Amino acid sequence: MNDDDLKMLATALAPPDMPDDAIDSGRHRLQKRMRGPVRKRRTGWLAAGLSLTAAAAAAAIVIASGATAPTATPNSPPVAAQPSSRQILLAAAATAERTPDGSGTYWYVKTVTRGAKGAEPNQFETWTRRDGQTWFRGAKSQGKVVRLAMPTPSRLGGAEVSVAQLEKLPTEPDALRAWIADAVKRGDVRTSAGRPNAAMREQLVFHGLISLVSQLPAPQKVRAAAFRAIASYPDVKDLGTVEGGHGLSISYGGLTPARLVVDPATSRVRDTNVLVTADGALMGVPSGGGATVVTEWTNRLPE
């Protein structure tokens, strides 16, 4: 790996035309507010690139609700009750539980971040084999598929996990949360202040649950358990019907609320502002924009 390669991947996810002073400012704000996981070592180009992006773009997605509840009048028919935010998550869990697990050689993830109106979207793709070997394609690789020099492990709440471990995770919500909490406590997770305290571990557990429903190659029954665990958080709000599903806001740990767009009919998370990078850090998205994630198992690498 040479300096040019590292520079290319280090800027792979940076929003277009981001000035150096904005990058430095974003890095300091994110470190102060989030105290995100900081690794003792990096796992190749992708980890370096994603971590720098997390510092450079610390803004969260704002999901706007495009629907308002109808107003009842004396002569109008009864207004149908809208599902609650928890019912939406539980419906997604039920759908996931009925969905067959996929299979394939590579876990494919396509992430698209959208900046302010009129800005070009930023897209990158990864193909990860079960042993962690990863291939990357993005704007900074000139659209070419690049094999990363180092394997890229999966991270669950910052703790390193294998595909085999993901496949054996508990399928009951409380047991799943306990498993993640124990993995974070026993693992080599570090923050800018050292090992995470109890409050920070709770935040990392939540990040892990979001990763399970949106990014990681988890079995469907595990995803169902993660949806149910998310539904158990005390402050879950419905933002209304939006493009792609239902907008949800979930407050946790005193941080900026997580915002998801969930399609309960497919159990897919269409948008999320909680993206966990290859080295366990949170990744931000451009201010005024959003991010979509598409995942699937596949047997083919692109030509």
Q: Per-residue pLDDT for the chain (303 aa), expressed as one digit of tens each?
A: 434 443 444 444 444 444 444 334 443 343 343 344 434 333 344 443 343 333 333 333 222 223 333 444 555 444 445 568 899 999 999 999 999 999 999 999 999 887 766 677 888 999 999 999 999 999 889 999 999 988 888 899 888 999 999 999 999 999 999 999 999 988 777 766 678 888 888 989 999 999 999 999 999 999 999 999 999 998 999 889 988 899 999 988 777 788 899 999 999 999 888 887 766 667 766 555 568 899 999 999 987
- In this prediction, residue 41 carries a pLDDT of 39
**pLDDT value of position 279:** 63
The predicted pLDDT at position 127 comes to: 95
- Say if 181 falls within a structural domain: yes
Q: Is residue 131 part of a domain?
A: yes
Asked, for residue 111, whether it belongs to a domain, the answer is yes
pLDDT score, position 74: 52
Pick from 296, 299, 302: nearest CA to 110: 296
Rounded to two decimals, what is the model's pTM?
Answer: 0.73
Q: Which domain holds residue 271?
A: 3-60+83-298
241, two tokens: 């019907």
Provide the pLDDT for residue 259: 87
pLDDT score at 256 = 79
Q: How far apart are CA 251 and CA 34, in angstroms?
A: 14
Has residue 251 been placed in a domain?
A: yes
Predicted confidence at residue 225, as pLDDT, reads: 98
pLDDT of residue 140: 83
Q: Within a domain: residue 71?
A: no
Q: What per-residue confidence (pLDDT) applies to 285? A: 62
Long-range contacts, 146-153 (Cβ 8 Å, 24+): 146/45, 148/9, 148/44, 148/45, 148/46, 149/1, 149/44, 149/45, 150/43, 150/44, 150/45, 151/43, 151/44, 152/43, 152/44, 152/46, 152/47, 152/126, 152/128, 152/278, 153/43, 153/278
Give the residue carrying structure tokens 């609320």: 257
Q: Is 73 inside any structural domain?
A: no
Token pair, residue 4, equals 């040019």
Position 210 in a domain = yes
With 0-12 / 13-18 / 19 or more C-beta atoms within 10 angstroms meaning exposed / middle / buried, residue 20 is exposed
Asked whether residue 303 is assigned to any structural domain, the reply reads no
Q: Provide the domain count of the chain.
A: 1
Helices (H), the chain: 3-10, 20-34, 44-56, 85-98, 163-167, 173-186, 198-214, 220-231
Query: In whole angstroms, how far apart are CA 198 and each of 10, 42, 175, 235?
Result: 31, 25, 18, 20
